[in-house]
Structure 1
């Protein structure tokens, strides 16, 4: 897939907004991670996810030592 994408003119995009616009025009598929996919499909009724997620990943958030617990609890909401 990478060989095709990198050698084909007009396939690569600069950002997610450009990719979504190309998908909406047709003839273009956009592969992205699940969190961004959920974000875009929830805000664009004419976009859908086809198939299941390819894999599952977790997120970690680092905070400076001594960061107030109130802020950490806010992030967990």
Structure 2
């Protein structure tokens, strides 16, 4: 197996998915900062942008959690 194939497989492995969820959690700090700044400046456009970013972050995290659960369900050694 080549290094490229190994790297592609990591994305769909349990450690890869956990790393993705961790990255999403870390990204939440930036979203919160943007929301606070938009509120303090009373900038509606920035507030909408931060809200859409938060929604995208939640959606991507939920997709990663679903894939992690699916991986656990298909794991033969887990039973």
Superposition TM-score, scaled by structure 2 size: 0.28
Quick one: higher RCO (CA 8 Å, sep 6+), 1 or 2?
A: 2
* Bigger proportion of residues as helix: 2
